[in-house]
Amino acid sequence: MTLLTALDGSFGDQPEAVSIAGVATSWADLRAASGRLASAMVGMPAVAVEAEPTLQTVVAVVAGLLAGVPVVPVPPDAGPLEREHILRDSGALPLPAAAGVERALPTPSPEVPALVMYTSGTTGAPKGVVMSGRAIAAGLDGLADAWQWTADDVLVHGLPLFHVHGLVLGVLGALRTGARLVHTGRPTPAGYAAAGGSLYFGVPTVWGRVCADPAAASALTGARLLVSGSAPLPVPVFDELQRLTGHAPVERYGMTETLITLSTRFDGERRPGWVGVPIAGVDTRLVDDHDTVAPHDGETIGELQVQGATMFDRYLNRPEATADSFAGDWFRTGDAAVIDASGFHRIVGRQSMDIIKSGGFKVGAGEVESCLLGHPSVREVAVVGFPDDDLGQRIVAFVVLDGVVGEEVDAALLIDHVATNLSVHKRPRDIHVVAELPRNAMGKVQKHLLR
Ligand code: MLC
Ligand code: AMP
């Protein structure tokens, strides 16, 4: 098997090669359990994996990769709206009821879709991002090179297993580099402190919480590398983490569609507020509002566009959305950035206010708005991201209620409506009842006025 080198026996074996929430396995046992499940999966169009942070999730994902069956991770807390969309759109079937007898399976072509990961856009339901094994391998090798990530590392994190960060980097990365993996179940400061790793992954919310717990932070002093990504790492958190742990964190940037494309390097400068340089195999450019390439002078802001070996294949069942997301070979990230003369990148913000990053989770305002409009007492709604010290952004909904203006509404009811129909992390943290939404002459809601 070419993608998950550790399962080939390339790095020997060890009893606790992969440990999740205290349950551990060797690579040989993981390979055997996955092989049996893979035998029962062969021929499935796609397999849905309930991505709980457990060893069973890892076995199921590896089984799909061995069988050449695209794996569709389903957030375990996904409510009916989100779950039905993912299952219907992907055509993924549940895991086989029983594992098969292990038999030799041909190694799937690296071009075969390995994962279909759902990601939110500005409007509509999340789109399925189809990713080949080749892109995943290229992305992981680029990061291994940037971070000098090897089989000598012990990787620690507690991130969810239904997104790129926790699953591709945090699980497949360990199985490709041969690093031992300790998944802490949840990304708590105490869990990170107790794990004794060399390489730690976290979203900025996690690093902010580690800084708020100096005892946990000081336990990370012996690590080799602390890596932050999925959302902007605030400069004060960068500085505080460095003060408490002695490590300037490495910041890296990416997207579900492109995998991780930019990073500061183990042996390079780590500049607070900047996300470094392209990994091997990736190119970037900036483009202005007129689709003209903008200078890399450290000041001019443009849309960041990316191309290279880590690129997704397409959005599942969405040829127009796929075409719209590219300018020729260049993927339009929708992020505004500057690049300096040395090639260092700084992410300035999103081009659209309708993409919210909360705790490192991407949430489309439109998706939350549609969900709230499905509640009988909501007539109009606008969802925005407010700055939040812990989460980066917090989801806030402004609602116009059906019925008497000013009537009491139980905000908790509306929050629960989103938490149970979509998923917990997509729930608004605050609900503001208003008499009307600010609109321009065209009738479009002016969200900047709400902020
Ligand atoms: C609260 N809870 C509710 C609820 N309100 N449950 C149901 N209904 C409600 N109304 C419960 C939750 O179930 C949970 O319970 C608890 O409250 C806490 O929920 P939370 O506040 O949402 O969690 P919190 O601890 O604040 O989460 C912070 C976090 C999380 C950092 C742990 O945001 C996180 O895991 N972020 C990682 C996101 C990520 O991996 N992104 C990568 C995307 S890939 P319980 O029992 O579960 O505690 C990408 C590419 C790249 O971006 O560059 O990497
Ligand atoms: P996702 O679709 O969940 O993969 O989220 C991708 C988005 O997360 C990017 O388009 C960025 O907006 C944001 N992002 C990821 N990493 C960083 C980072 N280091 N700094 C700023 N934004 C980031």
Q: State the average pLDDT over residues 250-263.
A: 98
Most ligand 2 atoms within 8 A of CB, residue of 117, 118, 362 to mutate: 362
Query: Is the pTM above the cut of 0.85?
Result: yes
pLDDT, tens only, 86-121: 999 999 999 999 888 888 899 999 999 999 999 998
Indicate which residue's Cα is closest to atom 21 of ligand 1.
425
pLDDT for 45 equals 98
Domains of the chain, earliest start first: 5-186 (3.40.50.12780), 253-350 (2.30.38.10), 359-450 (3.30.300.30)
Q: State the average pLDDT over residues 311-324.
A: 98
Most ligand 2 atoms within 8 A of CB, residue of 226, 333, 357, 363 to mutate: 357
> 147 exposed, middle or buried (CB, 10 Å; 0-12, 13-18, 19+)?
buried
Query: Is 164's C-beta closer than 6 angstroms to any atom of ligand 1?
Result: yes
Residue 70 has pLDDT above 60, yes or no: yes
Dihedral sign from CA coordinates of 6, 8, 14, 15: positive
Indicate which residue's Cα is closest to atom 28 of ligand 1.
359
Indicate which residue's Cα is closest to atom 22 of ligand 2.
231
Query: Is 424's C-beta closer than 6 angstroms to any atom of ligand 1?
Result: yes
pLDDT, tens only, 130-164: 999 999 999 999 999 999 999 999 999 999 999 99
> From the CA of 358, which ligand is nearest?
1
Query: Is 70's C-beta closer than 6 angstroms to any atom of ligand 1?
Result: no
pLDDT for 102 equals 83
Indicate which residue's Cα is closest to atom 19 of ligand 2.
253
Residue 98, classed as helix, strand or coil, is: coil
Which positions ≥6 away from 330 have C-beta within 8 Å?
285, 287, 305, 306, 307
Residue 214, classed as helix, strand or coil, is: helix
CA distances from 70 to 38, 110, 113, 256, 330 (A): 12, 12, 6, 16, 25
The size of the chain, in residues, is 451
Distance 189 CA to ligand 2 centre (A): 22
Residue 19 has pLDDT above 70, yes or no: yes
For 416-439, give the DSSP string: HHHHHHS-GGGS-SEEEE-S---B
E-assigned strands of 161-272? 180-183, 199-202, 225-228, 250-255, 259-263
End-to-end CA distance of the chain: 50
What dihedral angle (degrees, nearest 10) is formed by the CA atoms of 357, 87, 65, 187? 30
Q: How confident is the model at residue 449 (pLDDT cuts 50, 70, 90)?
A: very high
> 442 exposed, middle or buried (CB, 10 Å; 0-12, 13-18, 19+)?
exposed
Q: How far apart are CA 376 and CA 258, in angstroms?
A: 39
Q: How far apart are CA 363 and CA 389, in angstroms?
A: 18
pLDDT for 2 equals 81
- Percent of residues in the chain assigned helix, strand, coil, to nearest 5: 30, 30, 40
Distance 36 CA to ligand 2 centre (A): 36
Query: Of the given ranges (179-193, 325-339, 403-417), which has the lowest mean pLDDT?
Result: 403-417
pLDDT for 408 equals 63
pLDDT for 99 equals 87
pLDDT for 407 equals 57
Distance 230 CA to ligand 2 centre (A): 4
Indicate which residue's Cα is closest to atom 49 of ligand 1.
230
pLDDT for 85 equals 97
Ligand 2 pocket, residues with Cβ under 6 angstroms: 119, 164, 229-232, 251, 253-256, 275, 333, 335, 347, 350, 357, 362
φ/ψ of 284, rounded to 5, equals -135, 160
pLDDT, tens only, 358-371: 999 999 999 999 99
Residue 178 has pLDDT above 80, yes or no: yes
Query: Is 417's C-beta closer than 6 angstroms to any atom of ligand 1?
Result: no
pLDDT for 405 equals 52
pLDDT, tens only, 179-215: 999 999 999 999 999 999 999 999 999 999 999 999 9
Which positions ≥6 away from 412 have C-beta within 8 Å?
none
Query: Is 230's C-beta closer than 6 angstroms to any atom of ligand 1?
Result: yes
Residue 157, classed as helix, strand or coil, is: strand
Query: Is 427's C-beta closer than 6 angstroms to any atom of ligand 1?
Result: yes
Percent of the chain with pLDDT over 70: 98
C-alpha closest to that of 156 among 191, 113, 115: 191
The pLDDT mean for the chain works out to 96
Residue 173, classed as helix, strand or coil, is: helix
pLDDT for 144 equals 98
Indicate which residue's Cα is closest to atom 23 of ligand 2.
231
